[in-house]
Structure 1
Amino acid sequence: MDSGLVSVGLPAALAIIMFGLGLALTLGDFGRVARTPRAVGVALAAQLLVLPAVCFGLVLALDLDPLLAVGMMLLAASPGGTTANLFSHLFRGDVALNITLTAVNSLVAVVSLPLVVNFAVGWFDPPGADDIGLQLGKTAQVFAIVLVPVALGMAVRRASPAFAARADKPVRIASAVVLALVIAGALVGERENLADYLADIGVATTLFCALSLGLGYLLPRLARTTERQALASAFEVGIHNSTLAIAVALSVLDNDTLAVPAAVYGVLMFPLALLAGWLLTRHREDHPDDAHP
């Protein structure tokens, strides 16, 4: 991987994305947890507990290369992002719930992501395992790249809501552009092994994304949440912040192979999320009372 992309471009890209997330958040988004505890609780349980377990079973069943297996677990531990909010808006999910889940997930991921990655490193024991684990210093880097830009974005919105509103669209566009560049850069960095990796990881990432979207919808429905809340959960649980996973793999853990699952997933998640949204809402007109809380 090009050292300039890793040392400058990638942190800058993630900072833009997380700053844009902060522009969309207020302290009230965290307080909304108390008003929708069931929907938030089920979605967080799916994100933090069910998905890592599902991903772990998946990589064992597919007998992935140890480094790719750890990369998959890193992806599973990454929180949702602003893309989930966009899909929820597109398919008329509960976007307010998405924003709340993104806010809480971003905080919790500072603790949960290192725990999942360290477990995966210990279990799969990839080459260079001693350099891959997220020790205290590296965990502090995760804290910095996740929360500092979000906090700055929230501070800007609090100080100048009008500016935050004007900046929202340009930052979203910039986020989409840098996400594409980051994914392309991660794939190019492993171009010599890309064909082999795609053969191994393409099936894994497709299954993982499909299972994430399906469980993200099914579990809230079983818990008797509204359809709009279940749709919000499906996109929040099913669409991970692949840029964060790539940034941790390259900038924090300094390993190109670990970034491959997130990069491949970052390409596949868009068509899969669109397909899931269409499948989950195609009969909505037949059930108008259930579509709205």
Structure 2
Amino acid sequence: MNNTLSVSESVVNNFQMSPTALLLLNTVLALMMFGVSLGLRPADFGAVLRRPLAPVTGLVAQFLLLPAITCLVTWWLEIAPGLALGMILVSCCPGGTFSNVMTWIGRGNVATSVSMTAVSSLAAVVMTPLNFALYGGLNPNTRDLLQAIALPAESMILLVVLVLALPMLAGMAIGARFPRFVRRSEGFFRSASLLVFLLFVVVSFSKHWQTAVQIAGAVLLLVIAHNALAFLIGHFSSRLMRLPVADRRAVTMEVGIQNSGLALAILFTFYPSAGEMLVVAGFWGVWHLVSGLSLAGMWNFHHRKRGLQRELRQSPQS
């Protein structure tokens, strides 16, 4: 791990962003949240109150179990402080905006997924800064680094409000007022924001791709394992609560698809020299899309297979 530390220090200067690029990144994140929120209605929040078990299970897994277990695992494995703190920051973010699409592809309960995204995005205004300070400080290996970077909690809260809460409220208001606009533009917002976000990640790494390749093995392994842990926490939490299959899939996807774009925005805004943390968040931004789509595709395949088998059993014998 020492080689990873010494190499990753050379990445630091390559992750600096101009004020214009930083503003564009935050704008893209806000547009992603705006696009997802176009289909939200106040009734979606009411659904959480009427059927709270699945969303509450997901939120507990999202904001309590995932950060706590991440903190314990990084401490137990003695992962390098910069990498460990990057993993903790990602685990403290809310569910990613594409979890709803992946839940839909995987034949999960989209209503549960949407309600979790909405509530977790609002809860992140408080929970993301709080959890990051708590679990980053509990891990003795990351405590000194956390104190050194001293991310301002008030500014973090303001950033989360600007890129998550306000775009969500604006999307809900416009979606309710202009339903035709929602039907025509929702797909565009999802596709365009995904492409632009991936472009940011690619550009960041291409500025020093040789160094990124050198550290890719160690960091990518951590990211893959961490992402798998997130999916497992969502899956076993929902199984423990005996949720229906569709709800289990929604919870699993919501916990496994983290809003790593928010983590990137926080780091680029407040601590652009945190090279290792940026690498972790950047790799997460790519990998969780790959793993999420793969899992959704597998669920979809099994759903179709079961449906075909059911049809064959019900068809009259020739």
Q: TM-score, normalised by structure 2?
A: 0.82
Call closer, same or farther: CA 1:128–1:235 in 2, change over 3 Å: closer
Which residue does 2:279 correspond to in 1?
Answer: 260
Match of 1:86 among 79, 97, 101: 101
* Secondary structure class of the residue paired with 1:157: helix
Call closer, same or farther: CA 1:91–1:135 in 2, change over 3 Å: closer
* Secondary structure class of the residue paired with 1:59: helix
> What letter matches 2:287 in structure 1?
L
Which residue does 1:225 correspond to in 2?
Answer: 243
Q: Does 1:246 align with 2:264?
A: yes
* Secondary structure class of the residue paired with 2:83: helix
> What letter matches 2:236 in structure 1?
L
The superposition leaves residues 203-244 of structure 1 with CA deviations (integer Å, 9 ceiling, x where unpaired) of 211111112112212221221110000001111111111211
Call closer, same or farther: CA 1:196–1:68 in 2, change over 3 Å: farther
Tell me the distance in 2 between the aligned counterparts of 1:216 and 1:231.
9
Q: Residue 106 of structure 1: CA displacement?
A: 0.2
Match of 1:184 among 202, 218, 223: 202
Tell me the distance in 2 between the aligned counterparts of 1:283 and 1:22.
30
Match of 1:49 among 54, 64, 70: 64
Q: Does 1:139 align with 2:174?
A: no
Which residue does 1:174 correspond to in 2?
Answer: 192
Choose 122-131 or 280-289, whichever is displaced more. 280-289
Q: Residue 127 of structure 1: CA displacement?
A: 4.6
Q: Residue 142 of structure 1: CA displacement?
A: 2.3
> What letter matches 1:57 in structure 2?
L
Which residue does 1:163 correspond to in 2?
Answer: 181
Report if the CA contact (8 A) 2:68-2:135 is conserved: no
The superposition leaves residues 68-103 of structure 1 with CA deviations (integer Å, 9 ceiling, x where unpaired) of 211111110111123111111111100011000000
> What letter matches 2:279 in structure 1?
V
Which residue does 1:118 correspond to in 2?
Answer: 133
Q: Residue 271 of structure 1: CA displacement?
A: 2.8
Tell me the distance in 1 between the aligned counterparts of 2:294 and 2:50.
31
Which residue does 2:295 correspond to in 1?
Answer: 276
Report if the CA contact (8 A) 1:182-1:243 is conserved: no
The superposition leaves residues 222-280 of structure 1 with CA deviations (integer Å, 9 ceiling, x where unpaired) of 21110000001111111111211111111233344222112111221133223433555
* Secondary structure class of the residue paired with 1:82: coil
Report if the CA contact (8 A) 2:219-2:280 is conserved: yes
Call closer, same or farther: CA 1:253–1:116 in 2, change over 3 Å: farther
Q: Residue 187 of structure 1: CA displacement?
A: 2.7
Which residue does 2:7 correspond to in 1?
Answer: none
RMSD: 2.4
The gaps in structure 2 that reach 5 residues or longer are: 1-15, 311-318
Match of 2:42 among 13, 27, 31: 27
Match of 1:13 among 1, 23, 28: 28
Q: Does 1:2 align with 2:17?
A: yes
Q: Does 1:102 align with 2:117?
A: yes
Choose 95-104 or 184-193, whichever is displaced more. 184-193
> What letter matches 1:66 in structure 2?
P
Report if the CA contact (8 A) 1:6-1:250 is conserved: no
Tell me the distance in 1 between the aligned counterparts of 2:48 and 2:113.
11
Q: Residue 170 of structure 1: CA displacement?
A: 1.2
Report if the CA contact (8 A) 1:78-1:242 is conserved: yes
Q: Residue 30 of structure 1: CA displacement?
A: 0.9
Q: Residue 156 of structure 1: CA displacement?
A: 0.9
Percent of residue pairs bearing the same amino acid type: 29
The superposition leaves residues 43-76 of structure 1 with CA deviations (integer Å, 9 ceiling, x where unpaired) of 1111111101221123224422212211111110
Which residue does 1:129 correspond to in 2?
Answer: 147
Tell me the distance in 2 between the aligned counterparts of 1:121 and 1:189.
29
Tell me the distance in 1 between the aligned counterparts of 2:175 and 2:186.
10
Tell me the distance in 2 between the aligned counterparts of 1:187 and 1:256.
14
Q: Residue 28 of structure 1: CA displacement?
A: 1.1
* Secondary structure class of the residue paired with 1:125: helix
